[in-house]
Amino acid sequence: MVARLLGLAFLFLPISLVTCTTHVVQTNQSWEVVYRDTYVYGVVNKAVILECGSTVPDIYIWSFTKPGTEAIKAVVWDLGKGPRIQKLAETLGKLTVISNSAALSIEKLPLAAHGLFTCQAIYDTEQEPIVYYYYVHLTVRVPVSKPYLLMSDVSPVEGSTMWMRCNLENGTGPVQYVWQHETRTGNVSTIAQGDSSVINVTNVNRNHTGWYRCVASNAVNSESSNRLWLDTIFGPDIPQIDVTPYSMTERGYSALERETVSLLCQAQSNPASQYVWFYNNSQVYSGPQFTITKILRMHTGDYACLAQNTYLNTRSKKTISLTVYCECDL
Ligand SMILES: *[C@@H]1O[C@H](CO)[C@@H](O)[C@H](O)[C@H]1NC(C)=O
Ligand SMILES: *[C@@H]1O[C@H](CO)[C@@H](O)[C@H](O)[C@H]1NC(C)=O
Ligand SMILES: *[C@@H]1O[C@H](CO)[C@@H](O)[C@H](O)[C@H]1NC(C)=O
Ligand SMILES: *[C@@H]1O[C@H](CO)[C@@H](O)[C@H](O)[C@H]1NC(C)=O
Ligand SMILES: *[C@@H]1O[C@H](CO)[C@@H](O)[C@H](O)[C@H]1NC(C)=O
Ligand SMILES: *[C@@H]1O[C@H](CO)[C@@H](O)[C@H](O)[C@H]1NC(C)=O
């Protein structure tokens, strides 16, 4: 008899992917009931198999205890004439007993099936019947839904503080969040990760500009949000002025009479700078590039470029001095 039971145990290795332990029914000379605990992790709306030991008992009763309650309620029993499913089973999903076994199969796991299943099994051996209590602790997990990313400000001003939140509708905790940044050039990097669904960005700068997404993960799955563009508003920085043709003296830039001189102004800004040129404090031109064809000695003086960020209403200015020489001076 011992050999027969052991043999069966090896033939009926559990098929379920979620059951954590396997048992071998052995004869036990004592009268004591044998208690066994297993932990099964199922996913809502997915299938799960709950094993009642690894060999078919002669008699068994499956019961269910809802968390937070003490009552043990019958789900299905079989006293040798086939399984008798109780009404309670209807609340536990599409529940069936797998043929030629005492294992329960639940096809579409509802949240309500989260709880303690107990299979009381009796093996009628030649010497003595053995009684087993299999406690199957079923945890029903919910996959994370697709998160959506929220920013306190999608166009923050450089130097300000903002937050980003990864909103999740469903998902059994603990949930881990990963925050990704993708630059204009397509470089992707992880900027933060952890169990917080909110991150603060203090002292926002222009390098924070780009696409953001968050990825939420739990024990079941991982989902990524759509990406959201962050556009840092800044500037204008101090302008840079390029003079062509380039010629410097100790008094500043210099040019020869009748040359064509071009002054190009550039100041980093978002939105892009608007430019105004001044000659000796009088406005002479609007636009980044001021060109003087056939420059004369009378054009000697101070040239200033004013860059403006019309959105922030901020401005910055740079002045150069330009001396025009006659070829006859040389
Ligand atoms: C048999 O019973 C004893 C307690 O009397 C227990 O310690 C032992 O684990 C049992 N054997 C099996 C195989 O369960
Ligand atoms: C969250 O779960 C509820 C209940 O199962 C479902 O109705 C809803 O569609 C889920 N939401 C998302 C975003 O998956
Ligand atoms: C992209 O990231 C890699 C590694 O972090 C770095 O070496 C590279 O310079 C980056 N490229 C750009 C265009 O930022
Ligand atoms: C973000 O800042 C708020 C206050 O502005 C604070 O309550 C919160 O704890 C901060 N969160 C993190 C993750 O630093
Ligand atoms: C932005 O990134 C560039 C290149 O990595 C770096 O030189 C610059 O200092 C950064 N600017 C800020 C405001 O962090
Ligand atoms: C502009 O200023 C320069 C130097 O201050 C001076 O030499 C020049 O005459 C001025 N030009 C005009 C048109 O005022």
What would the pLDDT profile of 104-127 be if each residue is shown by its tens digit?
999 999 999 999 999 999 998 888
DSSP string, 261-282: EEEEEE---BSPPEEEEEETTE
The structure's pTM equals: 0.76
Of the pLDDT bands very low, low, confident and very high (cuts 50, 70, 90), residue 251 is confident
Average confidence (pLDDT) over 265-276: 96
Whether residue 18 is predicted with pLDDT greater than 50 in this model: the reply is no
Total Cβ atoms within 10 A of residue 289: 14
Does ligand 4 lie within 6 Å of residue 198's CB atom?
yes
Whether residue 297 is predicted with pLDDT greater than 80 in this model: the reply is yes
Return the ligand 1 atom nearest residue 34 CA: 14
Mean pLDDT of the chain: 89
More confident: 319 or 327:
319
As given in the structure block, the two tokens for residue 98 are 């797998």
pLDDT of residue 326: 85
- 171 and 142 in contact (C-beta within 8 Å)? yes
pLDDT of residue 294: 93
Phi, psi for residue 107 in degrees, rounded to 5: -80, -50
Q: What is the pLDDT of residues 19-61, one digit of tens each?
A: 444 455 555 567 888 999 999 999 999 999 999 998 999 999 9
**C-alpha closest to that of 283 among 301, 260, 306:** 306
Q: What is the pLDDT of residues 217-234, one digit of tens each?
A: 999 999 999 999 999 999
pLDDT of residue 16: 38
pLDDT of residue 21: 46
The single-letter DSSP state of residue 100 is T
Whether residue 17 is predicted with pLDDT greater than 60 in this model: the reply is no
Of the pLDDT bands very low, low, confident and very high (cuts 50, 70, 90), residue 306 is very high
Of the pLDDT bands very low, low, confident and very high (cuts 50, 70, 90), residue 5 is very low
CA of 205 to the centre of ligand 5 (A): 8
Does ligand 2 lie within 6 Å of residue 170's CB atom?
yes
- 70 and 77 in contact (C-beta within 8 Å)? no
Which domains occur in the chain, in start order? Answer: 2-141 (2.60.40.10), 148-230 (2.60.40.10), 240-329 (2.60.40.10)
Ligand 1 pocket test, candidate residues 31, 32, 130, most atoms within 8 A of CB: 32
Please say whether the dihedral angle defined by the alpha carbons of residues 168, 172, 173 and 176, taken in this order, is positive or negative.
negative
Q: Which ligand is nearest to the CA of 128?
A: 1
Whether residue 240 is predicted with pLDDT greater than 80 in this model: the reply is yes
Specify the residue with its C-alpha closest to ligand 3, atom 7: 187
